[in-house]
């Protein structure tokens, strides 16, 4: 009876090991570097994401809507502190650069279903240009739904808006403080 249990245990260990090995992602390849308009293929980011402004204050946080058509705030609005240069939060390919409803918009396709929208922005880049993580992609402009002088930073994964904090190291961890000391 003891050998049957041992054989079952060994089989379970082998099966679980195989499942874990199969579920472990392969190491990411290094991000290709090339001329800005060398390729129109989206380039997945392999490094951590950066905030699109070097110095800022959050004016409006992300607020998830209850459902697809409900009110919410599908991005983060940032007020710059210092320079107004806007940088790519991750490497990718410009999917759209132009004016919509009176404001400049820049959309970066990062691959793997991730797309960033930055607005209002003035940019000389055009669709198909490749950008690198941290590269200056334009300057803050005016217009849109943000407070004057603020930058809206939105991210979609497979067409659905997500909280950009998730890609920037996650939502800050809550710290519980002692009560009533």
Q: What is the pLDDT of residues 60-111, one digit of tens each?
A: 888 888 887 878 788 999 999 988 899 999 999 999 999 999 899 999 999 9
Whether 72 is in a domain gets the answer: yes
Whether 71 is in a domain gets the answer: yes
CATH code for the domain of 163: 2.70.70.10
Whether 126 is in a domain gets the answer: yes
In this prediction, residues 117-121 reach a mean pLDDT of 96
Whether 11 is in a domain gets the answer: no
Whether 101 is in a domain gets the answer: yes
The CA distance from 112 to 92, in Å, is 10
Q: Which of 75, 91, 102 is nearest to 166 (CA)?
A: 75
CA distances from 54 to 76, 78, 134, 148 (A): 15, 11, 9, 18
Domain of residue 103: give its range: 56-168
Whether 146 is in a domain gets the answer: yes
The CA distance from 56 to 147, in Å, is 14
Q: What is the pLDDT of residues 29-60, one digit of tens each?
A: 333 333 233 333 333 443 489 999 998 999 98
The CA distance from 117 to 74, in Å, is 11
Burial readout 9-25 (b: 16 or more C-beta within 10 A, e: otherwise): eeeeeeeeeeeeeeeee
Q: What is the pLDDT of residues 129-173, one digit of tens each?
A: 999 999 999 999 988 788 888 999 999 999 999 999 889 876 556
| Number of domains within the chain | 1
Whether 134 is in a domain gets the answer: yes
What does DSSP assign to residue 47?
Answer: S
Residue 128 has pLDDT above 90, yes or no: yes
Indicate yes or no: pTM above 0.85.
no
Whether 37 is in a domain gets the answer: no
Within 8 A by CB and 6+ apart from 118, the residues are: 52, 86, 105, 106, 107, 108, 137, 138, 151, 152, 153, 154
121-122 vs 56-60, strand pairing mode = unpaired
The CA distance from 97 to 130, in Å, is 12
Phi-psi label, residue 40: left if phi above 0, alpha if psi -120 to 50, beta otherwise:
alpha
């Amino acid at each position: 009876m003891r050998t049957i249990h041992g054989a079952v245990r060994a089989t379970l260990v082998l099966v679980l090991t195989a499942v874990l090995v199969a579920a472990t992602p392969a190491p990411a390849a290094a991000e290709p570097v090339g001329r800005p308009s060398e390729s129109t293929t989206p380039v997945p980011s392999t490094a951590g994401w950066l905030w699109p402004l070097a110095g800022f204050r959050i004016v409006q946080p992300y607020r998830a809507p209850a459902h697809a058509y409900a009110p919410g705030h599908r991005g983060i609005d940032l007020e710059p502190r210092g320079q107004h240069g806007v940088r790519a939060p991750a490497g990718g390919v410009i999917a759209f650069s132009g004016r919509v409803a009176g404001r400049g918009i820049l959309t970066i396709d990062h691959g793997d279903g991730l797309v960033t929208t930055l607005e209002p922005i003035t940019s000389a880049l055009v669709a198909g240009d490749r950008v690198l993580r941290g590269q200056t992609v334009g300057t803050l402009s005016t217009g849109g739904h943000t407070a004057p002088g603020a930058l809206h930073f939105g991210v979609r994964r497979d067409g659905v808006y997500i909280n950009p904090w998730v890609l920037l190291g996650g939502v800050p961890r809550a710290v519980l403080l002692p009560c009533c000391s």
